[in-house]
Structure 1
Amino acid sequence: MGQIYIEVDAKAVNNGIMTLETSGGGAEETGYWLYWNGDGFTGTGWYFNDPNCPLSETWPAYLEKNDGKCEQGVEHSADAQGLREHVNAGHADDLNEMLGAWDFFKKSAFVGQYGANLEDRGCLDRITA
């Protein structure tokens, strides 16, 4: 399973992106851990064509950079199925190049839109102060 940290920043809130509602009152959310496995962020998909998820651009670019080969000469398609095969082949932690430059505001909007579903499926952990 892979993961990426999503920081909660006042700039995001000021631009209309709200944090997930906290339960229990006073704890302030400082960020989230977003997890994935071969079947995506929720175990049901990669949100590959969502405008706030960079994978539809970064996965094909990664393949192009590596001549379509990711590990031991295995070729993958440039779609969500190819990404699934790559991660299921043991490369869940190998998405930093594809997700590392994920625009902060798009990442925040993604969590704002899908946070409840991600959290319900165990793919999102809140970090509170």
Structure 2
Amino acid sequence: MKIALIAHDEKKEDMIQFAQAYKKLLEQHVLHATGTTGKRLNKEAGLEVIRHLSGPYGGDQQIGSLVADGKIDMILFFRDPLTAQPHEPDISALIRLCDVHGVPVATNMATAEVLVKGIENGLLEFRRVEKREGKLQ
């Protein structure tokens, strides 16, 4: 699977802790991330990550483009609903794209854990089936 990881500034530490906890599972997949989050995931969690631009420079939009092209299977976007800064990515457009294209998205650690457990238990197999049948690119 191809998994995108994005975190608002106040949630980056949560993302690192999550990635460290699920490193063995995450490293089996192709990981994409926005700039700063990807840099920290690589350095602090030891994960190989395809880095896009930082959120304020359009990294979330680059990931959105991959969603629209069928090249992302899941997004973990740890958002800060209370103190998000104006320069941080807006999640609403990305969620809309995920809904349009049937891509599961988690906005907090608890939901991310459910999705990751789903991968472990083969519960997200529909993405692979759709790709094999040509419904997804």
Q: Same fold (TM over 0.5)?
A: no
Q: Structure 2-normalised TM-score?
A: 0.28
Which protein has the bigger helix share? 2
Q: Structure 1-normalised TM-score?
A: 0.29
* Higher normalized contact order (CA 8 Å, seq sep 6+, divided by chain length): 1
Which protein has the bigger strand share? 1
